[in-house]
Amino acid sequence: MKFSEKWLREWVDPPVSTEELAHQLTMAGLEVDAIEPVAGEFRKVVVGEVLAVEPHPDADKLRVCQVKVGEDKLLTIVCGAANARAGLKAPVALVGAVLPGDFRIKKSKLRGVPSHGMLCSEKELGLADQAEGLMELPDDAPVGQDMRDYLELDDVSIELGLTPNRGDCLSIAGVARETGVLNRLSVAGPDIPPVDPAIDATLEVVLDATRDCPRYVGRIIQGIDPSARTPLWMQEKLRHSGIRSLGPVVDVTNYVLLELGQPMHAFDLATLDGGLRVRHARAGETLSLLDGQTIELLPGSLVIADAARPVALAGIMGGRDT
């Protein structure tokens, strides 16, 4: 179980340091295996807005960008990223900035054009192992704000080595309850109002294996925009907790699992044959999983199935085709 300390403190905020919190949890039987910063060390990196982009006069793959980094503060920055464009908001390392790996930003000339800073990718800030182009920030990102403050990067990831009897702490909510007891503090989770249905569509759910799964519920959600992006705040909370963003639908299910401990899985309704049935696998059945494996199911394994075949290995992994 890996989680963001800042996220935990949204639920309960004991007056102790990170190290003291880790000691408390370990002494309570929730052994802390690791404490790691959520980002590489860097400074003097701010939110910037690209106002104009022109081709470099002497290099086909470079562009000359006019970048706003504060009120009435405009910088000329030479950049080779393919996604550099007018209107883009991205991290800007100012002259004097120090990036992970002790990489220092200085005034320079690139093929004869002065460059006063650097537009950055997630990789250059130590936020990802790989990156394709500049990090794209939301349109409402405040120009000039320090990136460490904007992304709340002064945070650590805490990893617990939980024993099988402490499944109650496989979530922020569970660890918060334990932390509250240890510090005699009340726990204040998010106020989540009920969501009233906006459509009448339903999907039949049948429980055949009630002893192994006494409850399984579903809801149809329509009108999802396939081009939508997960909000950056959610991407960052997941990343701080060791989970890579995979798109809005999967990210929401992972977020709920991590915060509340409720396992969820999203199916593509168009790929299902009829409703869903929770049952045991039958002899000879196979399932192609999301990770690319095709496995032969052991009779008695708990599966989620439609009318034709298993579509998920219950509580473990979904099927590739649904």
User: With left for phi above 0 and alpha for psi between -120 and 50, is residue 186 left, alpha or beta?
Assistant: beta
Task: For residues 145 and 286, state if they share a domain.
Answer: no
Q: What separation in angstroms does the CA of 190 have from each of 2, 151, 187, 193, 248?
A: 20, 20, 10, 9, 20
Is the Cβ–Cβ distance between 233 and 255 less than 8 Å? no
Is the Cβ–Cβ distance between 105 and 96 less than 8 Å? yes
Percent of the chain residues past pLDDT 90, beyond the cut: 80
Write down the pLDDT at residue 130. 83
Tell me the pLDDT band of 52, cut-offs 50, 70 and 90: very high
Write down the pLDDT at residue 210. 95
**Which range is least confidently modeled, 90-94, 171-175, 271-275?**
271-275
Task: For residues 171 and 29, state if they share a domain.
Answer: yes
Checking if the pLDDT of 198 tops 90, the result is: no
- How far from chain centre, in Å, is Cα 157? 13
Query: What stretches of 171-303 show up as alpha helix (H) in DSSP?
Result: 172-183, 232-240, 248-260
Write down the pLDDT at residue 197. 84
The C-alpha R_g of the chain, in whole angstroms, comes to 24
Checking if the pLDDT of 109 tops 90, the result is: no
The whole-angstrom separation of Cα 77 and Cα 84 is 11
Task: For residues 126 and 160, state if they share a domain.
Answer: no
Write down the pLDDT at residue 168. 95
Answer yes or no: is 289 within a domain.
yes
Is the Cβ–Cβ distance between 8 and 176 less than 8 Å? yes
Checking if the pLDDT of 93 tops 90, the result is: yes
Task: For residues 162 and 257, state if they share a domain.
Answer: no
Answer yes or no: is 141 within a domain.
yes
Task: For residues 274 and 140, state if they share a domain.
Answer: no
Tell me the pLDDT band of 113, cut-offs 50, 70 and 90: confident
Q: What separation in angstroms does the CA of 70 have from each of 65, 73, 81, 143?
A: 15, 5, 22, 6
Where residue 82 sits, what CATH number does that domain have?
2.40.50.140
Answer yes or no: is 193 within a domain.
no
Tens of pLDDT, residue by residue over 128-142, are 888 889 999 999 999
The amino acid sitting at 64 is V
Is the Cβ–Cβ distance between 118 and 66 less than 8 Å? no
Task: For residues 20 and 164, state if they share a domain.
Answer: yes
The whole-angstrom separation of Cα 46 and Cα 148 is 8
Where residue 168 sits, what CATH number does that domain have?
3.30.56.10
Q: What separation in angstroms does the CA of 23 have from each of 175, 182, 214, 296?
A: 14, 11, 37, 44
Tens of pLDDT, residue by residue over 251-262, are 999 999 999 999
Task: For residues 132 and 169, state if they share a domain.
Answer: no
Q: Tell me the residue range of the domain where 313 lies.
A: 205-318
Task: For residues 7 and 62, state if they share a domain.
Answer: no
Q: Is 133 exposed, middle or buried (0-12, 13-18, 19+ CB in 10 A)?
A: middle
Per DSSP, the three-state class of 5 is helix
How many domains does the chain fold into? 3
Tens of pLDDT, residue by residue over 68-85, are 999 889 999 999 999 999
